[in-house]
Structure 1
């Protein structure tokens, strides 16, 4: 890739380009050749592969040149009118793909997984990104921002400019953006809104800048989420899946991949408030046990309440990479790390523990591909993978992979 100095592209400059393919992160690839023959790769928003478009350069650096589509010259048959009036280049930055048909969105996400595994793990693979629900009205947790006048909105792409809105079509209606847009709220704050499976709604706010913590504004102090026959408490600072069907779907797939047996010792890493612990308890039975490890004190506080009556559930608060060095064995490991993945140190400890199965829940295919390499180096091969469109209208993807020992020692 050429630098901006070599090709002399400037912010605001317009070009006509052909869109080649999708890139990881919600952008699309175009190439430009200068009069001197020097070439550049440009990362374009609001495009679709196969289109001829006019773009405007929005930022340049030695590493990336970014641009937005300003006019579609030859549209893709998969181009649609965005259902949300705020989903355009100068609007809300929350949704990357509202201009693309839902089925093509999933195909593109599948291509991203294929490309990441080919590039990082050197593994040829294809996986269908499965539809789980309608592409709108799925999100149960939203973080919005208010502007200087107290109007609710969301940041524009790669910016701290707040775009005020009167609706968010990917949120479940009960989130209440429409109603809040009619109110004058506290200016310059972040607002977190959550709606539970039990019909509870919580609103909290924090300063827009800095590391200030959210404080509860309205609603219950703790939400409750149903998983199987259990009701889990989830406090405001604890993580819970954003898609209304994600807990149910992920719990089912993890259980299917894990094949937990009565009497097993299960290690639930990055276990949060206990989604996968809850879905695994019946399988381990009274003779088995589950050890949940989680770094967030708020989440483990919730987990301790959620499993207060379960003597076979152990909950440890701390850095997974440190705690795991003290764990000697497990039959099955379930891990749901943050976006950056588990990393080499954790993976090497997993190999030492020697579980018969490792079930990895990933929200970033690049991190999963990298950790697949580490697992292979440590003696574990990927046996199954499924991917789910738990973030429709955005570039995000959720995957679940099963790893088992490559050979018996």
Structure 2
């Protein structure tokens, strides 16, 4: 490469690698957050994180190989090129192994996913047996990558289709950015630029670099502050939210998830009045907790779940000194995501209304009016 272009091109490559590693770190960070909350679909964050981490490591080695070693040292150059391909195939293999697990059976056919994972083993073996510039290796690699990338795009589009709200927008950004990165791979990657069209290597790399950087930046925008990956269809089973003052049995806030605005089915209205059975509900919940406290001889052993024939009640108490506030989420299916959702609702409610909750006795009989503003916050959370 011309020295003047090299001085511009190399910094851009290293910037893109740095951005890629930030994406990798953020994916892994979000995965461990999801794992802590026992959200199984968070594994997709691990899968994408490893794809970016391993692939970017391979790209870093390729940059060192092309611009600092070159093919004058053939043995080292060939060895590092093979390492680059091994990292690429390893990232794909890990990705397909992860998405073949149980949480993703509703999205893609697990047997087909496992078959593609086994297919990846073929080019991995060929790396050791063939020269990377041989026609057989090029054919094997091209076919494998086309199948793998098409399946990843199909998988991702399925996730987008099943998702809603903010997470759907983020996933669309990631999909678009990832597609740009793939375009770069088929323009300025090793096989097109070094094997198929070596005379145009410089041009292909110059053209592909801004595409790759743009793709990474778009993926980063999608990943940044990525929301929790809850189970698919979790919104369909939401019924009601009640926030109860245990001291006087009053419901200080309520939300009916089934009240849909006829003008816009994507909007959720607040339920203005508590249903006529609110006293029975609140008394029953508090009564059950008192019984448990009596049996265990402790005021700190709280009931977390009450299962009925047609619905499930999830409970969460406020953090001290607000433990007299009970957060009650009523749903009609048992999903792990609801525990996380209720915890998030509690956290936001306490953050916004902490001072009012500490002096709740001063706002007797007007609590519901005070907390009506939480409607907007709740809609953003769901």
TM-score range, shorter chain: under 0.3
Q: Which has a greater percent of helix?
A: 2
User: Which structure has the larger Rg over C-alpha atoms?
Assistant: 2
TM-score, length-scaled by structure 1: 0.21
The TM-score, its normalising length taken from structure 2, stands at 0.22
